[in-house]
Amino acid sequence: MSVNGDFYRFDSNRFVKVDYAIAEQLSVADSFLVENGAVRAIQKHFDRFRRGVGVESDLDFEAFRRAVIELLPKTGAWFPRLEYRAFQPVGDQFFLRLREAPERTETLTLWSCDEPDPRVDHLTKGPDLSVCQKLRRKANLHGADEAVILDSAGFIADGALSSIMWWEDDVLCAPDDSTKWLPSITRELVLGLASQAGFEISLKRARPEDLENREIWSLSALQGIRAVTQWGEIPICAPRKHVSFRKRLSLLSERI
């Protein structure tokens, strides 16, 4: 297996392994963590991928879903990616990249982007993947693990490759629709868990400096919930709730 994983093209009802690279950017993508054959909300990932592709495709999505699940390893930790490439010939547009899961951690540090939001389609996962990866690498150069995208007024929109949430006492907060955030399945699941546990939910605008002494989280399909330990010069509250919520989130994984 290469560094970028094994690459498969969907051909009718099956995947065919290919050894060529495609340079153009992705049209739609979706990734999820597979641990020993178990996944969180896998159908939600397929549904989001299908919405991104749209109605113009004549793909048999049920056959595609079955072929993906059949190919997923039942042991080990994996981070497969569904791919749609609209510029390819009809019949050669759908792919699966089967990758081993990268390192996962319980905490991380953040850096606020020092440039305008470079994304072209914040509602679709895929077209902006490469530019968001560049933002994360830029954060790494500033000594942080993840970049946070701010809108033109300085309000938190999204992590480069994650969603940002925070606690105000016992109220779980996240950016509202006045900022551009990518629809996140992990965010949806965590908000649901918080509501079921009796916590109040507040969707609102906030600048990084408004989160002083708050518990702050970064969410993603790969990492689940990670607690923020540093964000520039902003004083960060020691995490108190993330361990219990990580356990709740892990209980949503189901064998495929």
Looking at residue 56, its pLDDT comes to: 65
Question: How is 116-171 classified by DSSP, letter by letter?
Answer: ----S-TTSSSTTHHHHHHHHHHHHHTT-SEEEEE-TTS-EEEESSSEEEEEETTE
Task: Determine the Cα–Cα distance for residues 116 and 253; give it in Å rounded to an integer.
Answer: 36
5 near 97, Cβ under 8 Å?
yes
Looking at residue 34, its pLDDT comes to: 98
| Model confidence, pTM | 0.94
> Is there a shared CATH topology between the 6-98 domain and the 107-255 domain?
no
Q: Strands across the sheet with 38-40, in order?
A: 77-78, 34-35, 38-40, 253-255
Q: CA 245 from chain center: how many Å? A: 17
In the chain, the largest separation of any two C-alpha atoms, in whole Å, equals 54
Looking at residue 192, its pLDDT comes to: 98
166 near 210, Cβ under 8 Å?
no
6-98 folds as D-amino Acid Aminotransferase; Chain A, domain 1 (3.30.470)
Structural domain boundaries in the chain: 6-98, 107-255
**Tokens at 188, concatenated:** 């949806």
Pairing mode, if any, of strands 38-40 and 171-175?
A: unpaired
Question: How is 166-221 classified by DSSP, letter by letter?
Answer: EEETTEEEEE-TTS-----HHHHHHHHHHHHTT-EEEEE---GGGGTT-EEEEEET
Pairing mode, if any, of strands 200-204 and 14-18?
A: unpaired
Looking at residue 60, its pLDDT comes to: 86
- In CATH, what number does 107-255 get? 3.20.10.10
- In 3-146, which ranges are continuous DSSP H helix? 42-53, 61-71, 129-141
Q: Going residue by residue through the chain (256 aa), what tens digit of pLDDT does each one get?
A: 454 789 999 998 899 999 887 877 899 999 999 999 999 999 999 999 999 998 666 778 999 999 999 999 999 999 999 999 998 888 889 999 999 999 999 999 999 999 999 999 999 999 999 999 999 999 999 999 999 999 999 999 999 999 999 999 999 999 999 999 999 999 999 999 999 999 999 999 999 999 999 999 999 999 999 999 999 999 999 999 999 999 999 999 999 8
**Tokens at 239, concatenated:** 């995490």
